[in-house]
Amino acid sequence: MSVLFPRVALIGLGLIASSIAHAARRAGVAGEIVGYDVSGDVRDTAREIALCDRITDTPDAAVVDADLVILCVPPGAMGSVARQIGAALKPGAILSDVGSTKRSVIDAVMPYVPGNVSFIPAHPLAGTEHSGPRAGFASLFDNRWCIIVPQEDTPADRLQMLQDFWQALGANTEVMDADHHDRVLAVTSHTPHLIAYTMVGVADDLGRVTDSEVIKYSAAGFRDFTRIAASDPTMWRDVFLNNKDATLEILGRFTEELFALQRAIRQGDGDHLHAYFTRTRAIRRGIIEAGQDTAKPNFGRGIEDVSESKG
């Protein structure tokens, strides 16, 4: 594919940004990739592994003359970064992000976006429990979904360019409004992560009583909980604080379902349990049929098979 953006700037150089850099190089859609991270150690690592063509020491320097700028920082940092780079953004540029929440990001970023820059939020639904500039790999987005959230005045050609970029990186794209995105992700990502963190916390408490047998004899279910709960704590703190209404709504519905299962177990209602598990099993089959996971018994799955821990 030909170059879509002569210069791409990545602000924040963790798993997602490093994977964007690798995937963009694989696809040949970025003429030059410029990067910045608030951590000097991360910038040094990025230079060492030649993650980008250039690494700058300030965010505003990274975005100078960039045709596409992608904010790859936790949701809570989006507004601060936008304030720092707003005046340096190139007229006609596209500003985007990879945040797991969308309404809060729009509210935080929009006040600092010049009128001649198109802010088009996005969210690639891909990730691993690993982080940092060394964690990225080119195939992370292959056959995963990237949700794009245009504003009311987003030019159609700019929206298409961003969709073309993500599709070139291997992703499927879907256009969605911000509030709907936040509610969907509360179901598919945010609440499951909160449950995983809670279950691992319970196991930690029990482990102190059982001489760590909970950890020692972990079966597949608990092992997968620990994988999800190993995700970046700063990012997930920001996710829950910035999508609290949708998450609390889904948690309420989860609690109702849990109470119903508790009642069925207490009353020995095997029919209810069997019907419930049969219905939910079909959802897992649907995920596999959609190509979003595999049915193979891949205990200890490799990085390339893991796509749930980004949010």
- Domain boundary assignment for the chain: 5-176, 180-305
pLDDT at residue 267, as a whole number:
92
pLDDT at residue 206, as a whole number:
65
Nearest to 127 by CA among 27, 18, 5, 205: 18
Tell me which residues of the chain have a pLDDT lower than 70.
204-221, 223, 225-229, 286-311
> Following DSSP, what letter does each residue of the chain receive, concatenated?
---SEEEEEEES-SHHHHHHHHHHHHHT-EEEEEEE-S-HHHHHHHHHTT-SSEE-SSHHHHHTT-SEEEE-S-GGGHHHHHHHHGGGSPTT-EEEE--S-SHHHHHHHGGG--TTSEE--EEE----S--STTS--TTTTTT-EEEE---TT--HHHHHHHHHHHHHTT-EEEE--HHHHHHHHIIIIIHHHHHHHHHHHHHHHHHHHTTTHHHHT--HHHHHHHHHHTS-HHHHHHHHHHSHHHHHHHHHHHHHHHHHHHHHHHHT-HHHHHHHHHHHHHHHHHHHHTTSS--S--TT--GGG--SS--
Measured distance CA(185)–CA(176) in Å, rounded: 12
Q: Are 246 and 183 in contact (CB under 8 A)?
A: yes
pLDDT at residue 309, as a whole number:
43
Give the up-direction half-sphere exposure of residue 52: CA atoms within 13 A in the CB hemisphere. 28
pLDDT at residue 81, as a whole number:
98
pLDDT at residue 198, as a whole number:
78
The sign of the torsion formed by the CA atoms of 217, 220, 226, 232 equals: positive
pLDDT at residue 43, as a whole number:
98
Instruction: Note the pLDDT tens digit of each residue in 56-94.
Output: 999 999 999 999 999 999 988 999 999 999 999 999 999
Q: Are 20 and 169 in contact (CB under 8 A)?
A: yes
pLDDT at residue 254, as a whole number:
83
Q: Are 71 and 11 in contact (CB under 8 A)?
A: yes
**The residue count for the chain:** 311
Residues 6+ apart with CB under 8 A from 93: 63, 66, 67, 68, 69, 117, 118
Question: pTM value?
Answer: 0.75
pLDDT at residue 204, as a whole number:
67
In CATH terms, the superfamily for domain 180-305 is 6-phosphogluconate dehydrogenase C-terminal like domain (1.10.3660.10)
Give the up-direction half-sphere exposure of residue 131: CA atoms within 13 A in the CB hemisphere. 17
The arrangement of secondary structure in 5-176, i.e. its CATH architecture, is 3-Layer(aba) Sandwich (3.40)
